[in-house]
Amino acid sequence: MCVDRNLLVGVDIGGTKTRIMGRRGDTVLFDKTVITDEWRIRQMEADAAKLSAIAMDLCGGSAPAAVAVGAHGCDTDEQCRRFQALLSANLKTSVQVVNDAELMVPAAGFVEGIGVVAGTGSIAVARTAEGKMLAAGGWGWILGDEGSAAALVREAAKAIRRALDR
């Protein structure tokens, strides 16, 4: 397998969709969005193999110089390291895996900060000065939907009822 030293790949695995982008310098070579449930079965080895196959197909068979992955569901350092090792072995290249909420900080132009997802499902993620992941939430939409439309309406209705009961 040929390594393209100028090809960088970024992957954002969300609960709903996965976006994979490949760049060579300032040129976007591919930018593909797929439904996460079409490839992810929540078995780490199988998921790493399938994602690697999708990425290699998009790369035209060449291995990228490096791959950065933000992965929904990688909520501990151990999960991130394990998925990273599997992807790196499959892709035969350098891979970095973090929780998908961690992508928000650099996407906003910051080096440090807290990535917060508040929607149908919620999580807050940050790193200590030593690089250890700190996470709160991430329990999925059934238990952690604090930022969803349904939760906001429910909390507003509760507040109105409390005010009327006084």
pLDDT digits (tens, 9 = 90+) for 58-76: 999 888 999 999 999 898 9
Beta-carbon contacts of 24 under 8 Å, excluding residues fewer than 6 positions away, are 4, 6, 7, 8
String of b and e for 53-63 (b: at least 16 CB within 10 Å)?
ebbbebbeeeb
Question: What phi-psi label fits residue 96: left (phi over 0), alpha (psi between -120 and 50 degrees) or beta?
Answer: beta
Vertex 36: Cα angle to 33 and 39 (nearest 5): 105
Whole-model pTM? 0.83
Domains of the chain: 1-108 (3.30.420.40), 114-166 (no CATH)
- Tens digits of per-residue pLDDT, 39-65? 999 899 999 999 999 999 999 988 899
